């Protein structure tokens, strides 16, 4: 996977938007993100077992799989949001971008970090991190979503209220340490 700062220039969200600013080597771990390449699904089974993840499903995001609702789904995934649980995604096929927030929360140094995910890539986003997702120009990704218990999937879009959500506050505290 490739990691870089999003250039924030106008243009389709599915374009790479790669800025030339260098990123710190520890950027993802500084944000409490775990990411890696695991060609064997068996490695994912092991990670799920270690973290007590009992359920999973597979989602295909593409015009073929979703039909008419594809464009609106892609727009929805791209709304900045957080979850009260970890978000684990394993890419089974295709590719796409996970954007995560870096910089001081609400500060003028906030940036998007773009993580370009391909087949075999796994990402674990901590609860409370603001993020968004989009397919790329290929308009096709097949991803495994892992859940600790029931497939619960609530996205809380960024707002003043969500900024003070306890899971958000806990994540922000972790960043200050
Ligand atoms: C998310 O959290 O935005 C998603 O689950 C997107 C689909 S997974 C590639
Ligand atoms: Ni999400």
pLDDT single digits (tens) 101-145 = 999 888 889 999 999 999 999 999 999 999 999 999 999 999 999
- Residue 172 CB partners (closer than 8 Å, separation 6+): 105, 128
Burial class from Cβ neighbours inside 10 Å (0-12, 13-18, 19+) for residue 87 reads buried
- Mean pLDDT confidence for 8-33: 96
Nearest to 100 by CA among 137, 73, 74, 126: 126
Q: How far apart are the first and last CA of the chain?
A: 27
H or E, element range at 153: none
CA–CA separation, 67 vs 61, rounded Å? 10
pLDDT band at 151 (very low <50, low <70, confident <90, very high): low
Question: Is 143 close to ligand 1, i.e. is its CB under 6 Å away?
Answer: yes
Residue nearest to atom 8 of ligand 1 (CA): 143
**Chain Cα centroid distance, residue 19:** 19
Rounded to two decimals, what is the model's pTM?
0.95
Nearest to 76 by CA among 140, 133, 146: 133
Per-domain boundaries in the chain: 2-167
- ipTM, 2 dp: 0.92
Which ligand is closest to the CA of 81, given by its number? 2
DSSP symbol at 69? G
CATH for the 2-167 domain, from 3.40.640.10, 3.30.70.600, 3.10.129.10, 2.60.120.10? 2.60.120.10
Q: Ligand 1 centre from 73 Cα, in Å?
A: 10
């Amino acid at each position: 996977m490739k990691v870089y700062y999003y250039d924030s220039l106008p243009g389709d969200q599915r374009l790479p938007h790669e800025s030339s600013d260098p990123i710190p080597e520890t950027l993802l771990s500084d944000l409490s993100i775990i990411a890696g390449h695991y060609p064997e699904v068996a490695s994912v089974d092991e990670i799920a077992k270690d973290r007590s993840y009992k359920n999973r499903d597979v989602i295909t995001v593409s015009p073929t799989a979703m039909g008419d609702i594809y464009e609106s789904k892609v727009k929805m995934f791209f709304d900045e949001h957080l979850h009260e649980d970890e978000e684990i995604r394993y890419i089974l096929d295709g590719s796409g971008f996970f954007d995560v927030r870096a910089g001081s929360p609400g500060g003028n140094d906030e940036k998007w970090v773009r993580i370009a995910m391909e087949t075999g890539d796994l990402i674990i986003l901590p609860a409370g991190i603001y993020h968004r997702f989009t397919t790329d120009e290929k308009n096709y990704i097949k991803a495994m979503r892992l859940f600790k218990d029931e497939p619960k999937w609530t996205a809380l879009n960024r707002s003043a209220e969500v900024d003070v959500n306890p899971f958000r506050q806990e994540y922000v505290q972790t960043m200050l340490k």
